[in-house]
Chains A and B, each alone.
Chain A
Amino acid sequence: MMSDSPHAVEIRKISKFFGGFQALKSVSLTVDHGERIVICGPSGSGKSTLIRCVNRLEEHEEGEIIVDGVALTSNLSHIEEVRREVGMVFQQFNLFPHLTVLENCTLAPIWVRRVPKAEATSRAMALLERVKIPDQANKYPGQLSGGQQQRVAIARALAMNPKIMLFDEPTSALDPEMIAEVLDVMVELATDGMTMLVVTHEMGFARKVADRVVFMDAGEIVEAAPPEEFFANPKSERTKLFLSQILGH
């Protein structure tokens, strides 16, 4: 992870509006290279909006976002530069249903990075190996289980060799028995030193790999702390309430 920029992601006082509704209220967050951040909070608190601003699937109206030294503005070439370095995994997988698993993983390297097809294929196979589904390479996404699809989605993102990975509730759409297989892959990725921003309510995962847990509510970051501290003595009432709700039962 060599890089000239001091931080992987710098979010400075960004605000985001949907019509009259303010989804993010002057949010700031700095993520270091190799840092693993878990973001949690109640539904509608702005977690997705925040990480979607990092690769500009959402445009922020105020403030600044600098990703690996590149400022996100309306400058299209900057946006594409950032997107090349930032991988994203979605709750709904969003695999391309008309392409095979392998083609899903080689498309972006071939078309964006201009990697020769043979090289892209062998790299994609290695990644499918890493997420433990090399035997599914020539199937179509619709023929796989949810857990397998999400692992393909992770491999697809990794195929671009990103410096930063964003995860938006990657296990929320999965049946319970498949959650572990996806989390295992994510833990491995974290162990390898990937910079990760993960929106999830899997607190076991947060405890295990997060450097910091960020709690959001109503478009604000209420508190951010290392997991031991975050779970043992949350500072704000809102955090306590939220933790009691998701851990309490």
Chain B
Amino acid sequence: MSALTSLNGVRWIRENLFSSFGNTALTLFGLAVVWLVLVPAIDWALVRAVWSGDSREVCLDPAAGACWPYIEARLGQIVYGFYDKAARWRVDIVFVLGAIGIAWLMLPRLPSKWLVAALLLTVYPIIVFVLLSGGIFGLDVVPTSRWGGLLLTLLVAATGIVTSLPIGIALALARQSDLPVIKWMAIAFIEIVRGVPLITLLFMASNLLPLFLPDGMTADKLVRALVAFSLFSSAYMAEVVRGGLQAIPRGQTEAAHALGLGYWTVTGLIVLPQALRLVIPGIVNTFIGLFKDTTLISIIGFFDLLGVIQSGNADPDWATPNTAFTGYIFVGAVFWAFCFGLSRYAGAVETRLAHADRGQK
């Protein structure tokens, strides 16, 4: 039995990896890359790494690799930013509730998906707002300038994701409208916002906007940044959705109109379900881009995940040759894990939908 499998293994290797000269060369090239990159990386991050200790001394050994105690010491800031220590439990509740809600939506077997989604989009944001900012029910106020780390990154990303899809859909539909005013407003908005770098929009929202707003009308700086971020993502999302709308054959809307269905039913039940399904990869791509763009808010003075690490890297208490690198690798790994999870989940959804109407032309 085992002789047979190992024989099969050899045959598989020969047929798939060494079937021709070109294939052999590529295989060897691949092995060389793995050897030159992966091996030192693993050696640095795991083998030579320092795993425990409570000060920078442990990481000063010139032969040492990654300095993981630094991450451990900073974990609080990485997760919560400068959120008041005594109030961190409020953030924990926000995390746990959000995780439960999202897990509920993602596990296919659980019931009442619509109800949970509705709660996540209506009640949950209110809970988040109340818990995080405080000021009522005897909760201490924690100003938004102290929110940071993973909390802030997820907050900005989630706001962007949740708002950009509906606004993007609305913009895409408006862009196809028969009413010239609506159509041109949508085009103007999309083209202007897409043509400006996100940083510019964030700067305008944080510095310029207060100068234009009438006296007494202020909005929190984080809220302004969130709005800028949402609008920017929506403009991109609109173009992704428009691609899907254009791919729906005219016969679909004609057949639906011929049955007596009106604009909103045709759009909501016939056009959008098909169009969105077609552009799931594009939507996820936009979400991933948006997730990574959240790091830009560190430029207008917020300490998101990346910002917190950057400020920590400058901390003399942890100044070692490997501190900064360890920090960046860690942040990179966290971002990668979220983005990869998003993309795998979207892949699963696509497969499930494709199964649902298998054989479709």
A interface residues with partner B (beta carbon < 8 Å): 55, 57, 80, 83-84, 86-88, 90, 92, 94-98, 107-108, 111-112, 140-143, 153, 156-157, 160
A80–B251 CB distance below 8 A? no
Using known A-B contacts A90-B254, A90-B255, A107-B269, determine if residue A97 contacts B261 with beta carbons closer than 8 Å: no
B259–A97 CB distance below 8 A? no
27 contacting pairs across A/B (C-beta < 8 A): A57-B254, A57-B258, A83-B257, A83-B258, A83-B259, A83-B260, A84-B260, A88-B255, A90-B251, A90-B254, A92-B251, A94-B252, A94-B254, A96-B256, A96-B270, A97-B274, A97-B357, A98-B274, A98-B277, A107-B269, A108-B261, A111-B269, A140-B357, A142-B357, A142-B358, A143-B357, A157-B258
B251–A94 CB distance below 8 A? yes
A141 to B359, CA, bound (A): 9
A153 to B277, CA, bound (A): 23
* Beyond A83-B260, A143-B359, 10 additional pairs, beta carbon < 8 A: A57-B257, A80-B260, A95-B255, A96-B256, A96-B270, A97-B357, A97-B361, A98-B273, A98-B357, A143-B358
A98 to B359, CA, bound (A): 11
Which residue of B is nearest A100, CB measured?
A: B357
Q: Is the interface of A mostly helix, strand, loop or mixed?
A: mixed
Q: Give which listed residue, B254, B259, B273, B360, contacts A112 with CB less than 8 A.
A: B259
- Find chain B residues with CB under 8 A from A157 CB: 258-259
B252–A96 CB distance below 8 A? yes
A87–B361 CB distance below 8 A? no
Using known A-B contacts A96-B252, A97-B274, determine if residue A160 contacts B260 with beta carbons closer than 8 Å: yes
B166 sits at the interface (CB 8 A): no
A108 to B270, CA, bound (A): 11
B interface residues with partner A (beta carbon < 8 Å): 249, 251-252, 254-262, 265, 269-270, 273-274, 277, 356-361
B258–A55 CB distance below 8 A? yes
- Find chain B residues with CB under 8 A from A83 CB: 257-260
- Find chain A residues with CB under 8 A from B273 CB: 98
A166 to B30, CA, bound (A): 63
A55 to B256, CA, bound (A): 12
- Find chain A residues with CB under 8 A from B249 CB: 94
- Find chain A residues with CB under 8 A from B255 CB: 88, 90, 94-96, 153
Which residue of A is nearest B268, CB measured?
A: A111
Interface centre among A111, A142, A156 (most CB of B within 10 A): A111
- Shortest CB-to-CB span from B87 to chain A, Å, is 47
A90 to B255, CA, bound (A): 8
- Shortest CB-to-CB span from B312 to chain A, Å, is 49
A107–B259 CB distance below 8 A? yes
Which residue of A is nearest B273, CB measured?
A: A98
- Find chain B residues with CB under 8 A from A143 CB: 357-360
B258–A88 CB distance below 8 A? yes
- Find chain A residues with CB under 8 A from B274 CB: 96-98
A112–B261 CB distance below 8 A? yes
A112–B252 CB distance below 8 A? no
A156–B251 CB distance below 8 A? no
Using known A-B contacts A97-B357, A140-B357, A142-B359, determine if residue A156 contacts B259 with beta carbons closer than 8 Å: yes
- Find chain A residues with CB under 8 A from B357 CB: 97-98, 140, 142-143
- Shortest CB-to-CB span from A143 to chain B, Å, is 4
Using known A-B contacts A80-B262, A156-B259, determine if residue A141 contacts B360 with beta carbons closer than 8 Å: yes
- Shortest CB-to-CB span from A219 to chain B, Å, is 21
- Find chain B residues with CB under 8 A from A112 CB: 259-261, 265
A142–B360 CB distance below 8 A? yes
A98 to B273, CA, bound (A): 8
| A-B complex: 5 closest residue pairs judged by Cβ atoms | A142-B360, A94-B255, A108-B259, A94-B251, A140-B357
- Find chain A residues with CB under 8 A from B277 CB: 98
A95 to B257, CA, bound (A): 13
- Find chain B residues with CB under 8 A from A87 CB: 258-259
Which residue of A is nearest B270, CB measured?
A: A96
Using known A-B contacts A90-B251, A90-B254, A111-B269, determine if residue A97 contacts B260 with beta carbons closer than 8 Å: no
- Shortest CB-to-CB span from B61 to chain A, Å, is 61
A112 to B262, CA, bound (A): 8
- Shortest CB-to-CB span from B289 to chain A, Å, is 27
A57 to B256, CA, bound (A): 11
- Shortest CB-to-CB span from A41 to chain B, Å, is 21
A157 to B273, CA, bound (A): 21
A112 to B265, CA, bound (A): 9
A57 to B259, CA, bound (A): 11
